[in-house]
Amino acid sequence: MLQVHNVSKYIEYGLVRKRKKAIVNNTSFSIQAGETFGLIGESGSGKTTLSRMAIGLLRPDEGAVEFAGYDLYSASRGDSKLLRQKMQMIFQHPDTACNPRKTLLQSIMEPFVLHPTLRKGDDHEQIEEVMNMVGLQPELLRRYPYQVSGGQIQRIVLARALLMNPEFIVLDEPTSMLDVSVQAQILRLLKHIQKQRKMTYLFISHDLDVVNWMSDRVAVMKDGEIVETGTSNKIMKHPTHPYTQKLVQAFLYTDR
Ligand SMILES: Nc1ncnc2c1ncn2[C@@H]1O[C@H](COP(=O)(O)OP(=O)(O)OP(=O)(O)O)[C@@H](O)[C@H]1O
């Protein structure tokens, strides 16, 4: 479904003498339809940059990305619009996900403004359906973001993404700002919805436990490169790269 071919992204640094550094370096991976592909690595290893390139939000300096047979960065305007609808991204900060000056109903209606073709009959029926799917009462949408919890906002953000009928969602640390019990509920919900809607996920986290539970396959990132890819089981039980071995050791010996 998704093929990322040898992508790199560079930044310039240095105040006087400008130098160039790769924050993602010649990296490739592919994701099959219906699977959850986990991406793990320490803070700053390039996970978000790589995923933004994978979803068409950030043009790579080198390399290419193919989604459902389309080259993301050379697709026509019409195709790009359709692809943007099929690929959604959910971020880690629930508190900035919705405009604080708008009611949650106004926020959730945004996809209909951006993509009028999504309107299929009654807007409210479609909204009610996705709210039921994420386990929230539609009445909650009358409130403003500060009047609901972080877990509820994250469910609303998911409902808003579902309105677009996506085939592929990048989940960038979607539960890292939530407390542990809410985190478990959201992760279970994500799995349930994936089954119902037959979706594909790219799941980013620095929590090995969470990535392992969510993912079919996992890629380990270090310093802008994927150093190892394998099934969750293989990564946990037989890691081959020294960095993955360190990560798994640290995880096994942490009191939880
Ligand atoms: N626009 C930018 N300009 C300069 N540096 C950047 C930019 N975007 C990212 N970086 C740097 O590139 C590196 C990779 O960032 P990225 O956010 O992709 O890492 P990450 O693995 O997702 O980190 P985290 O887990 O903390 O979110 C970091 O050192 C970051 O500071």
Residue 119 has pLDDT above 90, yes or no: no
DSSP category for residue 253: T
Distances (CA, A) of 4 to 35, 82, 253: 16, 19, 34
- The chain-wide mean pLDDT, for the chain, equals 89
For the complex shown, is ipTM > 0.90?
yes
Q: How close is the Cα of 152 to the center of ligand 1, in Å?
A: 28
Q: Are 74 and 9 in contact (CB under 8 A)?
A: no
Query: What separation in Å is there between the alpha carbon of 69 and the centre of ligand 1?
Result: 29
Question: For atom 9 of ligand 1, which residue has the closest CA?
Answer: 49
Q: Which residues line ligand 1 (CB under 6 A)?
A: 11, 23, 41, 43-49, 206
Q: Give the start-end residues of each E strand in 72-138.
A: 87-90
Asked if CATH classification 3.60.10.10 holds for the domain at 2-252, the reply, yes or no, is no
Nearest residue by C-alpha to atom 2 in ligand 1: 11
For position 67, what pLDDT does the model report?
94
Q: Which residue's CA lies nearest to atom 17 of ligand 1?
A: 48
* Nearest ligand 1 atom, CA 46: 18
Q: How confident is the model at residue 252 (pLDDT cuts 50, 70, 90)?
A: confident
What pTM value is reported for the model?
0.89
For residue 227, the model assigns a pLDDT of 96
Estimate the share of the chain in helix, then strand, then coil, as percent rounded to the nearest 5.
45, 25, 30
Interval 202-211 mean pLDDT: 90
Instruction: Pick the atom of ligand 1 nearest to 49's CA.
Output: 18
Give the separation between CA 214 and CA 205, rounded to whole angstroms.
Answer: 10
151 or 169, which is more confident = 169
Is the pLDDT confidence value at 140 over 90?
Answer: yes
pLDDT of 232 over the 60 cut: yes
Per residue in 57-106, pLDDT (tens digit) is: 999 999 999 998 899 999 888 888 888 889 998 887 766 778 889 999 99
Distance 10 CA to ligand 1 centre (A): 11
How many A from CA of 44 to the centre of ligand 1?
Answer: 5
Q: Note the pLDDT of residue 95.
A: 67
Indicate which atom in ligand 1 lies nearest the CA of residue 92: 27
Quick one: tokens of 48?
Answer: 């978000």
Among 152, 159, 151, CA closest to 126: 159
Q: Residues near 1 by Cβ (< 8 Å), separated by ≥ 6?
A: 31, 32, 33, 67, 68, 167, 168, 200
Q: Output the CA 46–ligand 1 centroid distance in Å.
A: 6
- pLDDT exceeds 60 at position 173: yes
> What is the rounded average pLDDT of the residues 28-51?
94
Strands 200-205 and 168-172: parallel
* Nearest residue (CA) to ligand 1, atom 6: 11
Domain chopping of the chain, boundaries: 2-252
What's the pLDDT at 175?
82
135: left (phi over 0), alpha (psi -120 to 50) or beta: left
Element (H, E) at 249: helix 242-252
